[in-house]
Amino acid sequence: MSVYNPLLLRLLRVRSRAVLRLGRKVTTWSPVGAAFNAQAVRRPELFNKNVGLFGVPELSSTEGFEVVQKRALQETEQLVEKACSTPPGAVTVETFDKLSDSLCRVADLADFIKVAHPDPQYREAAEKTCINIGTTVEKLNTNVELCKSLKDLLDNKELMAKLDPETRRVAELFMFDFEISGIHLDKKQRKEAVNLNVQLLDLNNQFLMGCHMPNRIDKKALPKHIHQHFTNEGSYIQIGGLHADAPDDLVREIAYRIFLYPNEEMMGTLEELLSCRNKLAKLVGYESFAHRALKGTMAKNPDTVMNFLQLLTDKLKDRTEKDFEMMKDMKTKFNPRNPAVMPWDHPYLSGVIRAERFNIEPSLYSPYFSLGACMEGLNSLFTQLFGVSLLSEQPSAGEVWNEDVRKLAVVHETEGLMGYIYCDFFYRPDKPHQDCHFTIRGGRLLDDGQYQLPVVVLMLNLPSPTRSAPTLLTPAMMENLFHEMGHAMHSMLGRTRYQHVTGTRCATDFAEVPSILMEYFAADYRVINQFARHYQTGQPLPQSMVARLCESKKVCGAADTQLQIFYAILDQVYHGKPQSRSTTDILMDMQQKYYGLPYVPNTAWQLRFSHLIGYGAKYYSYLMSRAVASMVWRQCFHKDPLNRENGERYRREMLAHGGGKEPMLMVEGKFTFRSETLSHSAGRHNKDMHLSHSSHTLEICHLVLEAVPCSGVIQDIQGHDHLDLNIIDGVIYYLFRWSQDLRIGN
């Protein structure tokens, strides 16, 4: 385990500076900034020992996956035997967690390699490992003797009373895994449950692979003047995305219609996947897959989620219509013969409206947002909030899967090394086009008192730096970087005793809170001004540009939120009671009711909805997490986003617990809204808004909604009104709590 000397660390920061010379201008970068602004330099590895992927020696070759898999399965057998033969107590939970850790350290690493490694042989070996480990996990989740060893502990009130709160919660979470896997079923049914879970592993992989596959069309079918916008492949045009930012209406429309054209094989995979999920849920005793998936979340059940989404739709209806009317007016300027707003227009027109009102042109901002500058900004932010620094390290031979992957050590000023973040930031062929955070190894307290350091990967798809210029980010790219780093710091700063609840291993509708909170920092001029500087001249981004950028994010907020509501409702319906109609018919119906823009015939957007895998029945989590993040921002960082005391409070009360504490207890216990934060005009400045299951929540909800017309509508620099996103987030939160109260009958 590495140990960092805090004094040496401070000296290193002062002395180690890098100078990047571009033309006649000189810009000085810190080591972390220089590491990301320069091209990767391949070091000769002829005489260096291959340490294996992530420092796992066996993974210096593809055959190593079989070795680490075999070792993990052997450890599993030993730990299962120990759990079943040891008297109940804290050691039971510790043994279960070691069992979980032994399997996850192999499965999580393989889960990443199967999608990210450029070598097909590595991907294939990793996928086989995932399936084998996954099958073992499902069998363990229906192991009656193993479950009994845990039940003996949970049924012993005297022993449970002696356990600390985190240990009790982890014990309950392990039992919850048994219950949703069908441990209560007879032997034949348990075997069926295992088979369904194994089948789902395969279907999930098939669907994820298909989601990102491009579609092809004969060149002759498209006008010649738009060929240049797509990938040419012989006599075909390949379209691998929606081209949502293309200024040409025709390019956006063609991309939308072709990329989303129905694929019969994918349609069958999705139908089978949803059917299989429903069969599993029914088999283990749930009304639907949504009921099973939501059991361990803040929402608890589908009725709460649907109430919440319907209420939110109702309250945003007028504002959403106004947003779409603005888009129609804008499109009329460009195309008076065809002013109807279509789904392929929404992202583009929103951006145009923002650009026109606030003079926001991404190319004007990008020179100030070099990747190195943004990483320096994150480093500075984390240092000021948490006393944590990001230090660039040179990976060893064979440690990373591609030469342009950067490695960061996360170091606390007094606590030392906290963990590692591998940054796979740059585009390459066959790499998933989705920004992701992957846990490679979870943190946990070891038997010798040391801490197993967490290891994560952040995956983005940014353009690579060149010899003449670093990677330059648009404002949206910068926000995505901050978002994903929020996940990474959740993993780094979580200091749970158990791996089972480390970092982001918490309720899905809470897991996005830290990442969305980082978007607030990325939109605050007090934060941006600390790092945004021109990559050539070193000049800071003018404050007027920062202010315009921040204000522009509020434009079309209701329409953007409504789109997310539509996605969330579609997800709920797909995972609710099975229907005798196709997934496309359901999509058409839900889009008409909950979006505001028409369905386009012969398209199947649901086949590109990759979140159906990782967020099945839980897509609403983004809305819920945004509301909680808004609350934390207002309570802790709105007045001073760099306040160390509140940064430590946020770390101590939320991040440190991972999933080891009930999310609602964290939300309600330390972060409660005060009425003045949302309803200044309501005149209730001193009344706490306590978030409890009571009729008082209904009163609070009305109070917030009454405040929206006054405090929520602000005037932009040209006199146009729009809804402040912070107010939307506040309304979301209270509507969610209101919907919970309606569900429980208060």
Dump pLDDT digits (tens) for 368-408.
999 999 999 999 999 999 999 999 999 999 999 999 999 99
The residue-averaged pLDDT of 659-682 equals 60
Do residues 348 and 245 lie in contact, with contact meaning Cβ atoms separated by under 8 Å?
yes
Closest CA to 370 of 179, 608, 540, 519: 540
Bridging pattern class, strands 444-445 and 451-452:
antiparallel
Which of 442-456, 593-607, 712-726 shows the lowest per-residue confidence on average (mean pLDDT)? 712-726
**Which of the four pLDDT bands, split at 50, 70 and 90, describes residue 43?**
low
Do residues 545 and 364 lie in contact, with contact meaning Cβ atoms separated by under 8 Å?
yes
Do residues 496 and 655 lie in contact, with contact meaning Cβ atoms separated by under 8 Å?
no
Which residues are registered as beta bridge partners of 408?
392, 421
Output b/e per residue, 554-565; b: 16+ Cβ within 10 A.
bbbbbbbbbbbb
Dump pLDDT digits (tens) for 553-575.
888 989 999 999 999 999 999 99
Dump pLDDT digits (tens) for 289-346.
999 999 988 889 999 899 889 988 988 899 999 999 999 999 999 999 999 999 999 9
Q: How far apart are CA 421 and CA 406, in angstroms?
A: 8
Give φ, ψ of 588 to 5 degrees: -60, -45
pLDDT exceeds 90 at position 552: no
Q: What is the CA radius of gyration of the chain?
A: 26
Active centre residues (catalytic):
484
Residue 168 corresponds to which tokens in the numbers above?
Answer: 């009790």
3-state secondary structure of 1: coil
What confidence score (pLDDT) does residue 551 get?
83
Residue 712 DSSP class: I
* Average pLDDT for the chain: 87
**Which of the four pLDDT bands, split at 50, 70 and 90, describes residue 24?**
very low
Domain ranges of the chain: 6-38+366-552, 53-207
Which of 242-246, 350-354, 629-633, 693-697 shows the lowest per-residue confidence on average (mean pLDDT)? 693-697
The three-point CA angle 735-588-553 to 5° equals 50
The residue-averaged pLDDT of 104-131 equals 97
pLDDT exceeds 90 at position 631: no
**Which of the four pLDDT bands, split at 50, 70 and 90, describes residue 46?**
low
The residue-averaged pLDDT of 611-633 equals 91
Closest CA to 659 of 514, 513, 510, 517: 510
Do residues 260 and 604 lie in contact, with contact meaning Cβ atoms separated by under 8 Å?
yes
pLDDT exceeds 60 at position 609: yes
Which of 212-221, 355-364, 431-440 shows the lowest per-residue confidence on average (mean pLDDT)? 355-364
What confidence score (pLDDT) does residue 728 get?
57
Which of 9-18, 441-450, 501-510 shows the lowest per-residue confidence on average (mean pLDDT)? 9-18
**What kind of architecture, by CATH, is found in domain 53-207?**
Up-down Bundle (1.20)
pLDDT over 70, % of the chain: 85
**Which of the four pLDDT bands, split at 50, 70 and 90, describes residue 531?**
very high
Which of 6-10, 121-125, 277-281 shows the lowest per-residue confidence on average (mean pLDDT)? 6-10
The residue-averaged pLDDT of 8-23 equals 40
Give φ, ψ of 391 to 5 degrees: -115, 125
Which of 91-95, 211-215, 419-423, 710-714 shows the lowest per-residue confidence on average (mean pLDDT)? 710-714
**Which of the four pLDDT bands, split at 50, 70 and 90, describes residue 705?**
very low
What confidence score (pLDDT) does residue 730 get?
57
Tally of helices (H runs) and strands (E runs) in the chain: 29, 14
**Which of the four pLDDT bands, split at 50, 70 and 90, describes residue 674?**
very low
What confidence score (pLDDT) does residue 720 get?
37
Which of 446-450, 561-565, 629-633 shows the lowest per-residue confidence on average (mean pLDDT)? 629-633
What confidence score (pLDDT) does residue 746 get?
41
What confidence score (pLDDT) does residue 20 get?
44
Q: How far apart are CA 450 and CA 459, in angstroms?
A: 29
- Which position has the higher pLDDT, 164 or 624? 164
Do residues 609 and 211 lie in contact, with contact meaning Cβ atoms separated by under 8 Å?
yes
pLDDT exceeds 50 at position 708: no
pLDDT exceeds 50 at position 2: no
The residue-averaged pLDDT of 664-678 equals 56
**Which of the four pLDDT bands, split at 50, 70 and 90, describes residue 360?**
confident
What confidence score (pLDDT) does residue 14 get?
37
3-state secondary structure of 487: helix
CATH of domain 6-38+366-552: 3.40.390.10
What confidence score (pLDDT) does residue 727 get?
54
Secondary structure (DSSP) of 629-694: HHHHIIIIISS-TT-HHHHHHHHHHTGGGTTSS-HHHHHHHH---BGGGT-GGGT-TT-B----SS
Dump pLDDT digits (tens) for 70-85.
999 999 999 999 999 9
Element (H, E) at 444: strand 444-445
Contacts (Cβ under 8 Å, ≥6 apart) of 189:
182, 283
Q: Provide the strand spans (E) within 219-332.
A: 231-233, 236-239
3-state secondary structure of 449: coil
The three-point CA angle 402-405-408 to 5° equals 145
Q: How far apart are CA 587 and CA 566, in angstroms?
A: 9
What confidence score (pLDDT) does residue 433 get?
81
pLDDT exceeds 50 at position 16: no
What confidence score (pLDDT) does residue 1 get?
43
Angle between helices 64-85 and 90-116 (to 10 degrees): 160
What confidence score (pLDDT) does residue 298 get?
86
What confidence score (pLDDT) does residue 10 get?
41
6-38+366-552 matches 53-207 in fold: no
The residue-averaged pLDDT of 190-215 equals 94
Do residues 724 and 730 lie in contact, with contact meaning Cβ atoms separated by under 8 Å?
no
Residue 332 corresponds to which tokens in the numbers above?
Answer: 């009329």
The residue-averaged pLDDT of 171-193 equals 97
Q: How far apart are CA 700 and CA 695, in angstroms?
A: 9
pLDDT exceeds 50 at position 268: yes
What confidence score (pLDDT) does residue 503 get?
96
What confidence score (pLDDT) does residue 630 get?
86
- Which position has the higher pLDDT, 581 or 726? 581
In terms of residues, how long is the chain?
A: 746
Q: What share of the chain is helix, strand, coil (3-state, %, to 5)?
A: 60, 10, 30
What confidence score (pLDDT) does residue 26 get?
45
* AA identity, residue 465: P
Residue 195 corresponds to which tokens in the numbers above?
Answer: 């088979």
Contacts (Cβ under 8 Å, ≥6 apart) of 210:
263, 265, 266, 269, 607
**Which of the four pLDDT bands, split at 50, 70 and 90, describes residue 732?**
low
pLDDT exceeds 70 at position 733: no
